[in-house]
Structure 1
Amino acid sequence: MLPLRLVRTSRPGALTRRALVACAAGAVGFLLLSALSYAVAHPGRPETAAARLLWCAVPLAALAHLAAATVRADPSVRPREGLDAVGVGPARLPLLAAVTAGLCCAAGCALALPAFVHLRGGLGGVLDAVPLAGAAGELLGAGRPLPRAAVLTLLAVPPLAAAAASALATRLRAVPSVVPTGSPAGLPDPAAVLPHRAPPVPTGLPWGVTVTAVGLVVETHAADRLAASAGSGGVPLPASLDGLGPGVVGGWLVIALGLVLAGPGLVHLCGALLALGRPGVLRLLSGRALREEAPRVGRPLGVLCAVAAGALGSARLHGAAPGAGEAAAGPLTVLGAAVVLVCAVAAALGSAAEFRAARAAATAGLLQLGVSRRMLRAAAALRVVVLLGVLAPLTWLVAELATAPLAR
């Protein structure tokens, strides 16, 4: 009952984020059911069915990322005296966060199941007169019964993934930040606002580069196998990305994972570039903020880079496929892309708000020390420009390398 009470008494912003998580979970459940219906309706195409199921891992990962970002920004699952009084201390907060996220996603999946069956045309009776009944019967493999155990198993995946991500985010929420301390005169200590100790360097950049390289190797090997099986010098690109095979899809997913792992290190690198040489006040403030908050904002930016690289690569392959000019993206592809994009943008906006809240104390201290608001806004703009200048070319390069084995 405690998670339900926390959800009911949450602020409108938190309720909006939870509603977005529930909608995303419903969309992911719908995509998983559509992959199951395709496998049941086309038993002679196991590779295409496996590729469709692998593609569902992309919106599923985006959902887990959004659920974790929502929990980090949710004040109801933070340590406080009221929760301690009912026996929910810091050690049990991950369980509370997992249950809350799981309930939201379970509600979304519970709504996705009747919507899927209705569009498939399986409800029957009076509901056949409801608009859109059986409207997507051909697309969703109508006429073949779906295994109930498989349906329940697939619908349990989004709540479990979101619950696991939320519990992990709550456990790892404690990120070191700069909190200025007050002096007897009411002014903050300058050493607390701008400490002399350099922020720790994230260790994920080498791992991210390695994982990205492994994904490129896997994708290149899978593309060579496709070209050899086709008996031509290149890969036979289908009008839909579902026909690329599990190997290529798996390679793309590994590349995206590498970008996410490298995100904090890249943000820290941007801060280090700003602090090169003998920086002035503007560069010093911008670089210090990026290096301090790299663990907090690096992963969401890595997810955005992975989404942008996937969009660029998909657009290039769609243009290179035979007859792609006449073939439009299917509704399931549009749904999956919308889920990934909305989750990535919402998580990035939530992390930006969390970044601003985490630096509120330091900003107040700098204002008391005489730093103008104009300089603080200029420092924020400089951070954005440097991040775009470093991450945008890198995203384009990864997209080109990922599509080169397929577009040759």
Structure 2
Amino acid sequence: MFYLRLVRGYRVVDLGRWLLTATAAAVVAAFLLRALGRALNDPPGAHSATARLLWCLPPLLAVAWFAAVAARALPAQRPDRIAGLTAAGAGPRRLRLLIAGEIALACALGALVTLLLFLVLRNDIAGPSLAPELGMGVPLPPAAPIALITLLPLVGGIAAACAVPNRETLPGSREPVGAERFGLVRTVTASLLTLAGTLTELYALRPAAAGDPRPLQLPAGLGHTSGALLGGWATAALGAALLTGPLLAAAGRVLALGRPSARRLLAGRGLTSTAPRLSAPLAVLAFTLAVVLTSVRHWVAPGAAGTGPLPAAEALLITGCAVAAVIARLTEVRATRRPVTATLLRLGSSPHLLVGAALLRWALAGLVVLATGGLTAALGSGMLS
């Protein structure tokens, strides 16, 4: 009843976040139930059931990532709601549990809808093409679908609970200034990882290594590769992801160097201050787009092995979750910058000046994402060539 009362105060953004979470959970539940249906039809002794469950792991992690970012953005988007709950006696731990329960409820609803559709289709409604996917003709163990469906709200709720900051102060308080800077150790480590991974892959791609065997078979029909190529690409991708935040902050500082105009100063300082919050979602988005585009480029190449609809559906879901996480973080940043924007407007700043600074800020952020994602995609293409 408490969550139903909260739904009455939902806005369009809240309802959209809730529906997106439920829809993503419903799609992942369909992947899990498909793996169960295929496992029921497998002959005894087949070992493909584990592989199908592992295929469900990336979209499950994507939904958990989106749930975490959406839960973290909720206190900044609805400070009045959080302040009301705080005034009613809800402490930080209870607020965290309430937000986690809301996300888990959305995941449970999406999973329950998929389970009902799965059971209806198993009732001799699905055609012959869907019969192997649903495990028709084989008795369904009651505990198996319940265990798979329970996994979604559990993962979503835990991810949301871990993402919400445990602040003892009231909502609306600013974070300490020291949180706006990236440490030298992280920047140097990320740079060394990127350089080491790039050099390792370039060494594995040298002309003398053209005839080296590639014993590792990649999933989704992506061909074969070697351990050096895969390790070099993974190391470089990790380094590029860790470099996203320092590059965002450095781009903001470079933009504000010298005698900047008001637009450049606002854009540079704004990008530097929001770099810690934007680094993780933008890094995940850049990595996801790089992997998806590299895979699509390999799939459409002449002579490539055909793939089923499952990799394409998973790629679409993971990309959607990454984009939705970036949008949720942008709404969080916009909500936290609202008092600063109101102060600038009261001081006489032109709205066109603020819009121009925002466009310049996001243009620089786009260039950083293009640089890190482009490097990851280029190295991935070399690994699959």
Instruction: Give the TM-score band, short-chain normalised.
Output: 0.7 to 0.9
TM-superposed deviation, 1:392: 0.5
With normalisation by structure 1, the TM-score equals 0.74
Q: 2:153 and 2:246 mapped to 1: Cα distance?
A: 30
Matched, 1:62 2:40: no
| SS at 1:91 equivalent | helix
> Within 2, Cα distance between the matches of 1:399 and 1:201?
28
Paired residue for 2:367?
A: 389
8 Å contact kept, 1:77–1:97: no
Aligned-residue offset at 1:397 = 1.1
Q: How many angstroms does 1:255 deviate by?
A: 7.6
Normalised to the residue count of structure 2, the TM-score between the two structures is 0.78
Secondary structure of the structure 1 residue equivalent to 2:93: coil
- 1:300 counterpart letter in structure 2: P
Which residue pairs with 1:228 in the alignment? none
Q: CA deviation at 1:264?
A: 3.2
Give the aligned partner of residue 91 of structure 2.
89
Is the deviation greater in 163-172 or in 248-257?
A: 248-257
How far off is 1:108 after superposition?
Answer: 0.7
Q: CA deviation at 1:239?
A: 8.8
Q: Point out the more displaced range, 248-257 or 154-163.
A: 248-257
Question: How far did residue 218 of structure 1 move?
Answer: 12
Which residue does the alignment assign to 1:289?
270
**Structure 2: distance between partners of 1:43 and 1:257:** 40
Corresponding residue number in structure 2 for 1:186: none
Residue aligned with 2:348, SS = coil
Structure 1 residues 238 and 355: CA distance shift in structure 2, 3 A: closer
Equivalent in the alignment of 1:343: 321
Q: What is the total number of aligned residue pairs between the two structures?
A: 368
| Counterparts in 2 of 1:157 and 1:35: CA distance versus 1, 3 Å | same
Q: Which residue of 1 aligns with 2:32?
A: 32
Of residues 265, 273, 287 in structure 2, which corresponds to 1:306? Answer: 287
Match of 1:377 in 2: 355
**Mean Cα deviation higher: 34-43 or 278-287:** 34-43
How far off its partner does 1:95 sit? 0.8
Structure 2 residue aligned with 1:194: none
CA distance in 2: counterparts of 1:260 and 1:356, whole angstroms: 23
Query: What's the % identity of the aligned pairs?
Result: 38
Q: CA deviation at 1:390?
A: 2.2
Following superposition of structure 1 onto structure 2, how do residues 250-289 of structure 1 map, counting pairs within 5 Å? 261-289=242-270
Q: Name 2:13's counterpart in structure 1.
A: 13
Task: Label 1:236 to 1:292 Cα distance change in 2 as closer, same or farther (>3 A).
Answer: closer
Deviation of 1:342 after TM superposition, in Å, equals 2.1
Whether 1:240 and 2:242 are equivalent positions in the alignment is no
Report 1:92-103 matches (<5 A): 92-103=94-105
Q: Is the 8 A contact 1:219 1:402 kept in 2?
A: no
- Counterpart of 1:283 in structure 2: which amino acid? R
Stretch moving more, 199-208 or 10-19: 199-208
| Residue matched to 1:80 | 83
Distance 1:389 1:69, change over 3 A: same
